[in-house]
Structures are given as structure tokens and as C-alpha cells.
Amino acid sequence: MSAPARDPGRTAGGERNQSASLRRALAVLEYVRDHAGAGQGLSLSRLAEALGLSKSTVLRLTVPLVEARLLERDRRSGAYRLGHGTLRLGQAYLSTLDLRSVAAEETRELMREVRETVHLVVYEPPYVVYIDKVEDESKVRMASRVGSRGRLYCTAVGKAILAWQPEAVVAETVAAGMPALTRHTITDPVRLRTELARIRQRGYAVDDRENEPEVRCVAAPIFGHDDSVSSALSVSGLTSRITAARVRDLGPLVARAALRISRKLGSHR
């Protein structure tokens, strides 16, 4: 029996050529994504020059991208911009995301690194809601529980989220009242706004015994795919373990972990 004819499209050389073409097509798509301004687009000449390809090669690579609606080309100017197919892909990806699952690796790694309780919260106006808690079982356990709510103005997670909200949300928080929960709670609106500005500058928030008398907490915002903030990550512990000096070390650690989660969610930060 004779051997079956070999499909020339399945040869190693053919597969390598297809792989190289795919990589170059993706490079075209990524360049348009990163450099095509709103309402404008990129010319064929600019794409070819930027990617080091001939115009004919770029034109060939863009044909299937346009057919798939990943790119669209202006009929008059010939400029390329992202097509609505990219929006459908993004929406499909976002629909599969679950914050707890996305953050799981980072929350557990952070707990192992600092040996303190790590919380994950989401913003449900006018509160934050704790949706995950990872504890070091060798330490005294925190009283917090998944499903409980916290206030924006006196918790580190709340302030980490509030710092990136519009002024109208800050005003609503102030108008709702800022009762003192401990003698360290910030109750002055001017002082709160000053604190929020500091949080934006350094990238993390601190609850210095403001919500519970013997607890310190360090938190950082988690940015979504549109770079808005509706969740936060924190490290909490007794003041005997999380000293004022240690807060300065924990802040950048929490901020970096939150940023890694943000990028997994599609943030460009």
C-alpha cells in the first residue's frame, strides 16, 4: 500500500511560515492598539515603517484582521484602527474573570511573605465588602469574616478605594457622617481629603487603629481593565506585630501585589 500523500500545508516549513505570519499579524494588531489615537488611525506607511515590514506584507497581514473585525480601515484615508471584534473579545474575556480566582495566587503569596492576614474587598456603595480572607493560622486570628462590610473613611481598604473615586463620592461619604470608632478615627473632612491625596501619591492606604483599637491595616487599590478602582487588597494585624515602622515596609509590598492583580484584570498601569 502506498503511503498517503503529504499535505504540503502541514510540512515543518509550512508551519513555521504560518507561525511567523501569525506573529507578525499580532504585532500589527498590537501596534495599532498602542498607537492609534482616538478618532484617528495609522496609515499603511507608518505601520510598515514602525514594524520594519514592506507595505505589501503589512497589507497582506491586515486582510484577515479586517475580515475578523479586529481591525477596520477607513475607506477614505486608508488608516487602520481597532475594529469592534476586539471589543467582543474583551467582553468575552472579562465575563470569565472572577476576582477571587484572579487574585488567589497573589493573596496567598502575600500572606506567606508577610505572615499576616490578607483581605480582598470589593466596593459596594456605600461600603466595602470582604470577599476573601487568607490567614496565617499560627497567629492570632482577625475578627473579620467574608461577607462582612466596612466603612470607606476608617478602613485602609475603604480609603484605598475612596482615594480613586470622583469627588462626588467623597462628598457623599462625608455627608453620610464620619463617627469616631476609636480615638484615632479620622472624623474631619479636610483631614480625610488630605489623607486621600497622600494615598494617591504613595500608592497605598493605612488604617492606624482607626477601625479597631489594636489593629493596623495596609491596603492598596486594585485597578480594573478600565483603570477604575472597585476593589482593594490589604494586610492586617495586631499593632504589636504591625508596628508603625513595619507599615513603611508593608506598603510597597501590598501595592506591588495589588498591581499584579490589576494587570491580570487588564489594567494598563
* 133-162 residue pLDDT tens: 998 766 656 666 788 889 999 999 999 999
pLDDT at position 2 is 46
pTM above the 0.75 mark? no
Taking alpha carbons only, the member of 55, 60, 79 closest to residue 20 is 60
What are 169's three cell numbers?
Answer: 463620592
Q: What type of residue is 175? A: A
Q: What is the mean pLDDT of the chain?
A: 88
CA distances from 59 to 38, 54, 143, 206 (A): 22, 9, 61, 53
Confirm if 150 and 158 have CB atoms less than 8 A apart. yes
Which parts of 135-243 are beta strand (E)? 149-151, 205-208, 215-223, 229-238
What are 31's three cell numbers?
Answer: 501596534
Separation of alpha carbons 44 and 35, rounded Å: 13
Q: What is the pLDDT of residues 162-185, one digit of tens each?
A: 999 999 999 999 999 999 999 999
Q: What is the pLDDT of residues 58-100, one digit of tens each?
A: 999 999 999 999 999 988 888 999 888 888 777 665 555 588 8
Please name the residues in contact with 134: beta carbons below 8 A apart, sequence gap of 6 or more.
Answer: 107, 108, 110, 111, 117, 118
Separation of alpha carbons 255 and 158, rounded Å: 15
Model confidence at 225, pLDDT cuts 50, 70, 90, reads confident
Please name the residues in contact with 74: beta carbons below 8 A apart, sequence gap of 6 or more.
Answer: 41, 80, 81
Mean pLDDT (whole number) for 204-208: 97
Distance of CA 14 to the CA centre of its chain: 39
What are 117's three cell numbers?
Answer: 492576614
Cis preceding linkage at 126, omega within 30: yes
Tell which wins on pLDDT, 170 or 41.
Answer: 170
210 class by beta-carbon count within 10 Å (0-12 exposed, 13-18 middle, 19+ buried): buried
Is residue 50's pLDDT more than 60?
yes
